[in-house]
A and B are shown apart, each in its own frame.
Chain A
Amino acid sequence: RKEVEQDPGPFNVPEGATVAFNCTYSNSASQSFFWYRQDCRKEPKLLMSVYSSGNEDGRFTAQLNRASQYISLLIRDSKLSDSATYLCVVKRAGNQFYFGTGTSLTVIP
């Protein structure tokens, strides 16, 4: 079983739409959670960390459910510039990141 599972998509949504991505992780000892964004042929960049209480950064909201081992990312009012691959990333007590395969988002004009 993979450490991190994501729906690969693709998600094609119109500008202004709200879109949600989900992610599950297999190891209950996981401690830190992140969403990274990766543009085509570029490096992953941190979008936001995901805290137990949930957190929001502008149009982006991240939620963590430790009991269900589930992480989500909600994007409101989608922009063309949001088109990218969104990577769910989990870290255990060590320092290696475990990545999902990513969810592809295309925002259509």
Chain B
Amino acid sequence: EAGVTQFPSHSVIEKGQTVTLRCDPISGHDNLYWYRRVMGKEIKFLLHFVKESKQDESGMPNNRFLAERTGGTYSTLKVQPAELEDSGVYFCASSWLSGGYNEQFFGPGTRLTVL
């Protein structure tokens, strides 16, 4: 079974440009999460989808970040315009159920560098 996949693996852009990250969850997983790790800090939650609906977006840093999950399958995270402090590794995770001890499976991450 394929795991969570993310594209691209790396992205280097200039400040002010737009970048779109994509995540394909494990097939059948209704729950999809975005996380971010800024260098030297812990991994932090950004938002959670249940199918196509945003369940919790309390971790989104500001309105330059827009996440979508059309049709409840893959998800995109767009940063527009990118700022230097947006650099980091963006992880996507998915899970079948969302409560209790349900494991979240992580993708390999997209390493974003904003110059």
Contacts and interface: CB of A to CB of B under 8 A. Distances in A.
- Chains A and B bind each other: yes
Given A43-B91, A44-B91, A101-B41, A95 B106 contact: no
A4 interface: yes
B108 A97 contact: no
A98 B42 CA distance: 9
B43 A49 contact: no
A80 to B, nearest CB: 23
Contact of A43 (B31, B59, B101, B108): B108
Given A31-B100, A34-B101, A46-B104, 10 more contacts: A2-B42, A42-B108, A43-B4, A43-B107, A44-B91, A96-B58, A96-B59, A99-B35, A99-B43, A102-B42
B109 A43 contact: yes
Interface residues of B, number: 28
Contacts of B64: none
A95 B109 contact: no
Interface in B20-45: 31, 33, 35, 41-45
The size bracket of the interface on A is 20 to 34
A97 B35 contact: yes
Given A43-B109, A95-B48, A96-B33, A32 B100 contact: yes
A2 B106 CA distance: 22
Interface string A79-109: 0000000010000001111111110000000
B99 interface: yes
Interface in B42-91: 42-45, 48, 55-56, 58-59, 91
B48 A96 contact: yes
Contact of B55 (A95, A100, A102): A95
Contacts of B99: 95
A45 interface: yes
Contacts of A101: 41-42
Interface string A13-34: 0000000000000000001101
B113 interface: no
Contact of B56 (A2, A32, A43, A95): A95
